Amino acid sequence: MTLKMKSTCSWLSILFLVLLPTSSSSPDAEPRHSLKRTQSSLLSSYDFIICGAGTTGLTIADRLSSAFPSKTVLVIEYGELEAAPGVFDPPTKEYTPLDFGAPRASSWDLVSLPSPALNNGTAFLKAGKAVGGSSAINGQFFDRASKHDFDDGWSPLQVSMTDRKVPIWDWKGMEPFYKKSVNYNPPGKDTVDKYGYTWDETAWNENSTSSKVQATMASFLWADHSLIRKAFQNMGIWLRRECMDGNKEGICWTPNAQDAMTGQRSFAGSAHYTEVVANRSNYHLLTGHQVTRVVFPQGLKDGGWGGEVPLVEVRGVGNQGTFNITAAGEVIISAGALHSPAILQRSGIGPKDFLQQLKIPVIVDLPGVGSNLQDHSGPTVEWNYSQPLNIHPMPPDMANSTFLSEAFAAWNQRPARGPYTIAMSMTSIWVPLANITANYTFILDKINDLVSLGDKLSTKPDPKTLESLTAALHLPPSYASSSTLLKGYLAQLSSISSLLANPKSPSLESAFTTGTTLTAVLNHPLSRGTVRLNPSSPLDLPILDYRSASNPIDLDMHLLHTQYLRRTIPALQFLFTDPEAFQSLGFPNNTLPFNLTVTETQPGQQIQSEDAILNWIRSSTVQSFMHPCCTNAMMPLEKGGVVDTHLRVHNAGGRLRVADASIFPLEPSSHLSSLCYAVGEKAADLIIKEWSE
C-alpha cells in the first residue's frame, strides 16, 4: 500500500516551459526532436502511421515504438501539443466541474441534428483536438466496464459463419490489457482513514509501472459526499470494495486520471508521449496536420486481403498544402468515434450509396462506416434544501480566503492534497434493471419482440422488406439498403437483452461529487444514429444524426431509471430526521440541521404520472455525455461490421486498422477513456505479435 513516487511533474513542467518558450532543460529530454510540424522534417517512409494522437492512438504509438526500436512510428495529429489542465486546478476559485469555459486544451465542438423523439433537441459534444485527444479535456473519471459488457455484449457479436476462433474480446481477453494500461496509486493512509476508501489490489496490476497513465483517488471530498453515499445505501444499494474487477453493480469509489504526486491530469499526451519519447528516436509526431484520407494507389487485390498498405494523404492545417506519406508496415486510424468514420468515408470506404452521392470512388462498400452511433444520455433529477446544510468543507468555502490559501498550499504539497485534487466525480452507482424494478421483464419482452421481427429477414431480402423492417426497428433510413447492418443490429439487440436480463449487469449509472443533482445515465441505448461527411465540405466536421430515443424502449428505460433515482430524495430526507444516521457520517451533533426538508425540484413533485414523467424526460434529457462510440463497429462483415477481431478494416488489404472508441460494437457500462487505453494496449499487442512472427 505504499504510494509510488513518480516524478511525472518534471515532464509536465517541461511541457509548460516549451509552450512558454523559456526551456532551460537539456534538449535530449524534450519532445522537441520528435515533434514535426512540416513535410520536410519527416522521413520518406514510416513502418507504422497512426492517424490521430488521441487516447488510443498514442497508447499504440508508445507500445509499437518501444517494442520495435528499429521500426519507425509516425503519429499525425490535427491539434497541437498543449498543456492539459485538470478539471479543477488552481488558480480556478469556483468548483464547477462541467464548466467548459474553464481552462482546457483545445476541442472540436459539435452539435447534432435535432432528435425528433426528444422534442427536436440536439446533442452538444466536445472532443479533444490536441495531443492526447479527448483524454486531454475529459472529466478524468476513471472507471472500467462491467465484465458482462464483454461476455454478454461484445464477444457474442464477434461470432461469424466463417470465423470460429477462440474469443479474444471477452472479459478474460480484456482484463490483462485494462491492468497493463494504468498504474493505480493506492490512496494515502490519511485519506483512507478520513473517507473510508476501499480497493482491491488484485484488480490492478500492482507493479504495472509499464504504463505511465496514473489512476489516483482524490485526497479530498466535499462534506455532502457522504450524505449521498448514505442515501444510496439506504436505498438498498450495496457498497462495493472494488469496482474495477469486472463486477461493478453497487456503489463504487472511482479514481481520477491523475498523477498521485502532483495532482495533475494524467492523460495520453503525457503518459504515452512526453514522458516516454525522450529516448525513442523512432517515435515521431506530426502536429497541425489533418489526415484527409488513405489511398491505395494500386487498388485492392485478392478480394481485399492482399496485404496492401495505403498511403496517408494529409493537409497542413491553415496552409491547405496536401501531400502523401508512405507506410511500409501499416496504417492505423485512431481519430475517435466522430472523425475515424469521416476519414474512411473520404477514402471511399463506407456505404456505397452515400459515397456515390458525394462522387467519391467506392474502394470498399462497407455500410457500417458511420452507422451504429451510440452515446450515453439521460435526464437529471434535482432537489433543494430548505436551509443551508451548514456542513464543511463545501464548494462555497473556496470564497473564504483562509480556506482558499490552505487549498493552494495543500495542492503544492507532495503528494498533492486538498480540494484541487478533486475532478468531476468520485462516487457512482451502477444499478441492474432487476434492482430498479421487479417489473422489468416487460422491457426484455419488448426487445425480444423486436428480435423476432427480424425473423422476416431472409438471406436475400427484397428492398421492401428491408425498408419496413428498418422502420419497425426504428433504425436510420440508411439501414434499409443493407441487410447486413440489420442483421448486426438484431444481434446487438440479443446482446442487450442478455445484458439487461443479467442481475449483475448495470443498466443505470449515476455519479456524484457534490451538489443537488443526479443524472440517470442509460448504459445500453437501443437507438442508433449516424455520422456522415458534410456533402458541402467533406473536410470539415461531419454531420451527426443522434436520433436519441428514436427507439421508444430507450424512453421506457429512462422512465424506470428516473422513477428509481428520484427515490434518492426521500432517502436523503431520512438522514435529516435520524440524528444517529447523521452522526454516523461524522458530523458533530451541533451542526445537525433539524427540520431541514429536502424537496425535489426536477422533475418536481407535481410530475407523477408516467405520461408526465415521459414528457419531462423528452424535454430534459441530455443527449450526449460525450461518450460517442461504435461508428466503425468490430463485428463480422455479415453483421455489417467495419473491422474484424484484429481491428483490420474488412476487405481493405489487411494493413489498415481502426483502433479507438469507434470500434466498440456497443456502449459499455463505463465512461470511455480507460477502455480506450485498454483497446489501445490490446491493439498494440495484436500488431506487435503479427510483426514479430
Ligand X SMILES: *[C@@H]1O[C@H](CO)[C@@H](O)[C@H](O)[C@H]1NC(C)=O
Q: Which residues sit at the interface with ligand X, rule CB under 6 A?
A: 114, 116, 119-120, 205-207, 236-238, 249-250, 278-279, 295, 297, 311, 313, 322-324, 384, 386, 400, 402-403, 406, 431, 435, 439, 442, 579, 583, 589, 594-595, 599, 601, 610
Among residues 669, 665, 628, 633, the alpha carbon closest in space to that of 246 is found at: 669
- By CB under 6 A, residue 178 contacts ligand FAD: no
Shortest CB 238 distance to ligand X, Å: 4
- Cβ atoms 642, 393 nearer than 8 A: no
- Lateral strand order in the sheet of 256-257: 183-185, 214-216, 256-257
- Which residue in 65, 72, 138, 214 binds ligand FAD (CB under 6 A)? 138
Amino acid at 472: A
Q: 3-state DSSP call for residue 376?
A: coil
680 strand-pairing partners: none
Among residues 140, 141, 113, 143, the alpha carbon closest in space to that of 125 is found at: 113
- Cβ atoms 624, 546 nearer than 8 A: yes
- Cβ atoms 250, 238 nearer than 8 A: yes
- By CB under 6 A, residue 140 contacts ligand FAD: yes
Residue with cell 437529471: 380
Helix 463-472, helix 483-501: angle, nearest 10: 30
Nearer to ligand FAD, 142 or 587 (CB): 142
Nearer to ligand FAD, 337 or 475 (CB): 337
- By CB under 6 A, residue 637 contacts ligand FAD: no
- By CB under 6 A, residue 53 contacts ligand FAD: yes
278 binds, among ligand FAD, ligand X, none (CB under 5 to 8 A by kind): ligand X
Q: Which stretch binds ligand FAD (CB under 6 A): 30-38, 137-145, 404-412, 609-617?
A: 137-145
Nearer to ligand FAD, 288 or 603 (CB): 288
76 strand-pairing partners: 51, 286
- By CB under 6 A, residue 133 contacts ligand FAD: yes
524 is an active site residue: no
671 is an active site residue: yes
Q: Rounded distance, CA 415 to CA 444, Å?
A: 49
660 binds, among ligand FAD, ligand X, none (CB under 5 to 8 A by kind): ligand FAD
- By CB under 6 A, residue 626 contacts ligand FAD: yes
User: Strands 521-522 and 506-512: what pairing?
Assistant: antiparallel
- Which residue in 110, 500, 630, 661 binds ligand FAD (CB under 6 A)? 661
Number of H helices, E strands in the chain: 20, 24
Q: Which of 148, 284, 627, 650 is catalytic?
A: 627
Nearer to ligand FAD, 126 or 194 (CB): 126
- Which residue in 79, 250, 304, 488 binds ligand FAD (CB under 6 A)? 79
Q: Rounded distance, CA 324 to CA 321, Å?
A: 11
Shortest CB 124 distance to ligand FAD, Å: 10
| φ, ψ dihedrals at 665, nearest 5° | -75, -35
Ranges within 99-128 binding ligand FAD (CB under 6 A): 126-128
Q: What is the DSSP string of 151-166?
A: IIIIHHHT--SS--PP
Shortest CB 443 distance to ligand FAD, Å: 27
Residue with cell 462534506: 223
Among residues 633, 554, 447, 499, the alpha carbon closest in space to that of 145 is found at: 499
Residue 291 assigned to a binding site: yes
Positions in the binding site for ligand FAD (CB under 6 A): 51-57, 76-79, 126-129, 133-135, 137-141, 290-291, 334-337, 339, 343, 424, 626-627, 660-661, 671-674, 676
Binding site members: 55-56, 291
Kindly list the catalytic residues: 627, 671
Binding site members for FAD: 55-56, 291
